[in-house]
């Protein structure tokens, strides 16, 4: 069937998710962005969905059953909290797990069902270099994102029989709203521990996403790839 492939991008209202959605649209994908609040000015279709709400995720993806060229999912929705665990409220811990880990799992489960029927597709999830570096002051965030990495490796095996690849990108610090209020000295210390000691840009992340979504990455699955190197 002719026409552009369809890509679903969660967290498409800002940050890396927004950049990925815009670059994918420019590259010829039909993009459907998901966010808690939609943006009427986005150059791609937006649908309201809180990824931490399993019922909302189920309804959103069921509405995509009729998409004839549905092929990819990028789970870029996420939140961070940089604080010592002893000073982190239980509600914050819970929300970190709900959005980062469960949100990823909910979207993967629903998209996985759709892609399995089509016998092919690409899923890209997001972790963080904080997992590999075991960053002080990010224990709760690292716990949630560690879950994403372990889940993605196991889910990749479950989807292999359907020719669906599942990979994880774990960037170092990228200039987005997620780190805007983190002290510069703290960011510099993280960057200094990377293999490539410089801040990444959203475009660096997109280039890796684009590869993983493409046909050339058919043999790449179950991998965790670090932007910046860990």
106 is catalytic: no
Domain annotation covers residue 181: yes
32-70: b (≥16 Cβ within 10 Å) or e:
bbbbeebeeebebbbeebbbbbbebbeebbeeeeebeeb
How many structural domains compose the chain? 1
Q: Distances in Å between the alpha carbon of 123 and those of 13, 47, 97, 134, 183? A: 19, 19, 20, 25, 33
Domain annotation covers residue 229: no
Mean pLDDT across the chain, nearest whole number? 94
What's phi and psi for 175, nearest 5 deg? -70, 90
Cα distance between residue 203 and residue 150, in whole Å: 26
Task: Give residue-wise pLDDT tens across range 148-199.
Answer: 999 999 999 999 999 999 999 999 889 877 677 677 888 888 888 889 888 8
Domain annotation covers residue 117: yes
Q: Output the domain CATH number for residue 152.
A: 3.40.50.720
153-168: b (≥16 Cβ within 10 Å) or e:
bebbeebeebebbbbb
3-state secondary structure of 151: helix
Q: Please report which confidence band the pLDDT of residue 230 belongs to, taking 50, 70 and 90 as the band edges.
A: confident
The pTM of the full predicted model, rounded to 2 decimals, is: 0.94
Domain annotation covers residue 158: yes
The catalytic position among 141, 151, 155, 206 is 141
Domain annotation covers residue 72: yes
Task: Give residue-wise pLDDT tens across range 89-146.
Answer: 999 999 999 999 999 999 999 999 999 999 999 999 999 999 999 999 999 999 999 9
pLDDT at 1: 55
**Domain of 217, in residue numbers:** 6-223
pLDDT at 51: 98
pLDDT at 178: 67
Q: Please report which confidence band the pLDDT of residue 26 belongs to, taking 50, 70 and 90 as the band edges.
A: very high
Counting residues of the chain whose pLDDT is more than 90, the rounded percentage is 81
Q: Are 33 and 47 in contact (CB under 8 A)?
A: yes
Domain annotation covers residue 228: no
pLDDT at 189: 85
Domain annotation covers residue 230: no
**Distant-in-sequence contacts of 154-162, Cβ < 8 A, 24+ apart:** 155/108, 155/112, 155/123, 156/221, 156/222, 157/222, 158/112, 159/112, 159/115, 159/116, 159/123, 159/221, 160/221, 162/112, 162/115, 162/116, 162/119, 162/120, 162/121
CA 66 to chain CA centroid, nearest Å: 24
Domain annotation covers residue 1: no
């Amino acid at each position: 069937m002719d026409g552009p492939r369809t890509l679903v991008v969660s967290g498409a209202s800002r940050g890396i998710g927004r950049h990925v959605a815009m670059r994918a649209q420019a590259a010829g994908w039909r993009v459907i962005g998901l966010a808690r609040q939609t943006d009427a000015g986005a150059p791609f279709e937006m649908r309201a969905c809180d990824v931490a709400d399993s019922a909302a995720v189920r309804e959103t993806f069921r509405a995509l059953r009729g998409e004839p060229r549905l092929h990819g999912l990028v789970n870029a929705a996420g939140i961070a909290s940089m604080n010592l665990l002893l000073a982190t409220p239980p509600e914050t811990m819970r929300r970190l797990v709900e959005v980062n880990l469960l949100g990823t799992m909910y979207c993967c489960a629903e998209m996985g069902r759709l892609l399995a029927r089509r016998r092919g597709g690409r899923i890209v999830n997001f972790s963080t270099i904080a997992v590999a570096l075991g960053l002080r002051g990010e224990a709760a965030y690292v716990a949630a994102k560690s879950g994403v990495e372990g889940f993605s490796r196991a889910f990749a095996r479950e989807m292999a029989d359907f020719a669906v690849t599942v990979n994880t990108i774990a960037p170092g610090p990228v200039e987005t709203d997620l780190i805007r209020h983190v002290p510069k000295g703290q960011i510099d210390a993280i960057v200094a521990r990377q293999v490539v000691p410089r801040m990444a840009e959203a475009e660096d992340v997109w280039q890796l996403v684009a590869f993983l979504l493409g046909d050339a990455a058919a043999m790449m699955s179950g991998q965790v790839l670090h932007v910046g190197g860990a």
